[in-house]
Copies of this chain bind each other. A is one copy, B any other.
Amino acid sequence: MEADLLVVGAGIFGLATAYHYLRENPGKSVLIVDRMGDVGQGATAKSAAAFRANLFTSQTNRLLAGSSVDFFLHVQEKEGHDLGIMKVGYLVLRSREQFERVSEVAKMLEKMGTVRIYRREELMEKLKMNYDFSGDEEAELLNIMNVDYGIFGFKCGYMDADKLAYYYRDRIREMGGDFQFNTKVERVIVEPEVKLGIPREPRAWQKVKFSGIETNKGVLKAKNLVLAAGGWSHLLLDPLGIDCISKPKKRQIFTVRPRTEEQRALLYNPNFNEEGVLPFTILPTEHYIRADKRDGTLWFALSDEMRPYSTDDEPEESFYYDNIYPIVVKYFPQLEGARVDNMWAGLYMINSVDHNPVVFRRANMVVATGDSGSGIMKGDAIGRISAALVQGKKEAELFGGEKIPTDRLEVVGRSLEPENFVF
């Protein structure tokens, strides 16, 4: 059996690709393979599932996230499928110096009505935290910066990663798509387009195709292949000599259950959104805080830049006490004593060049990767681009009708606006 399309990875990129491919090609056979037991159980489940439609300095990222978030809102509000979307907003707290680096984009977004820029005085009325650390030697040692500005994004918040993954899974199944779970992909099979029956094929002068994959459960063949393997992509691509200019680092999330009245007041802040919870908040140190309304927990994370590139994804409790608690408690003294309630870790795929996603085609294989940390919120658009690439199209149509060239996220000759809103 040879599938029309074989997708490696049932995360958000793989799911959206299969979904859009099937919508455009009803009746084609699509098989999605994943090493976990269900969809979206890797980095997708382990992310904060946050979204921001506009809060990017890269125009491409704004386009991708804008289309995807509009689609997600459409699914929840018009189609009536609950994706757990909570429009709590994003609150990006910046020091004066940090703000100046992004002020041009921030002011443009404010003119467009999608963000509001707060000065410190306005913020102080809305959020109880430390804003000024002048003369605080400990803060200086911790490289803590003052809070001078807040950039508040309206069409932003978080959603339920599981619900989103299940939405795609169920639609894919309705259209006849198939899943094979608990299947680990060992390698991509390369074959010459024209087999000669000589030793050591394919030779360097032969045109090749990627005819399938070898898994722990045997060989699976396909006419077209999509590699959406997240943090494991480079392990499948390096043996093929294909560079996806993205590498994985571990990213951990720690949850804390408020124990005091003051901690609860931090979580259930009524001053920013209709949900009455703290917005998704990014500190000047790039720590982020997510107030989970359903769980009643505060989530903390930090993308530590010096973290090794590796596929290790074990959470380390010490990371919270070493690197998160000392910082957030300086900004929010009401968190004094806040201990880890739960934690998990996933692999984030980082493209250092511009922090935009990476999507390209080689022979009959499409690779969609990179950009973890803001992948879910662009996932639907990435799926549209990948699906168009599988079909050999020059353009993909985004939700809302805007067109984007399918080679926009190509590695070779890449020249994309760098993303400076990286959290």
A residues at B contact (CB < 8 Å): 141-144, 190, 194, 196, 200, 202-208, 238-241, 243, 245, 247, 249, 285, 302, 304-310, 318-319, 322-323, 326-327, 350, 352-354, 411-416, 418
A241 CB contact (under 8 Å) in B203, B206, B307, B416: B307
Chain B residues with CB under 8 Å of A204's CB are: 302, 304-307, 319, 322-323
A240–B318 touching, CB < 8 Å: no
Q: In chain B, what residue has the closest Cβ to A237?
A: B309
For A323, the closest partner residue in chain B by CB is: B204
Task: Determine the distance from Cα of A204 to Cα of B326 in the docked complex, in whole angstroms.
Answer: 11
CB of A388, distance to nearest CB on chain B (Å): 22
Whole-angstrom distance between the Cβ of A124 and the nearest chain B Cβ: 24
Q: Is the interface of A mostly helix, strand, loop or mixed?
A: loop
Minimum CB distance partner of A413 in chain B = B418
In this complex, the member of A285, A305, A413 whose beta carbon has the largest number of chain B beta carbons within 10 angstroms is A413
Residue numbers in B under 8 Å from A247 (CB-CB): 238, 243
CB-CB under 8 A from A306, the residues of chain B are 190, 202, 204, 208, 240-241
Query: Can you sample 8 A-B contacts with CB below 8 Å?
Result: A143-B205, A200-B322, A204-B323, A205-B323, A238-B309, A353-B353, A353-B413, A353-B414
- From B207, B304, B309, B411, A243 is in contact (CB under 8 Å) with B309
| Smallest CB separation, A98 vs chain B (Å) | 15
Nearest CB on B from A368, distance (A): 17
Docked CA distance A315–B341 (Å): 55
Are A205 and B326 in contact, CB atoms less than 8 angstroms apart? yes
The answer to whether B353 touches A308 (Cβ under 8 A) is no
What B residues does A238 contact at CB under 8 A?
Answer: 247, 308-310
Cα-based distance from A208 to B247 in the complex (angstroms) = 22
Q: For the complex, what is the distance from the CA of A207 to the CA of B142, rounded to whole Å?
A: 9
- 4 additional contacts (CB under 8 A) given A241-B308, A243-B247: A203-B322, A238-B309, A241-B304, A415-B415
Closest B residue, CB atoms, query A416: B415
CA distance A158 to B240 in the complex (A): 31
Known A353-B414, A414-B353; judge A142-B205 contact (CB<8 A): yes
- Across the two chains, which residue of chain B brings its CB closest to A285? B205
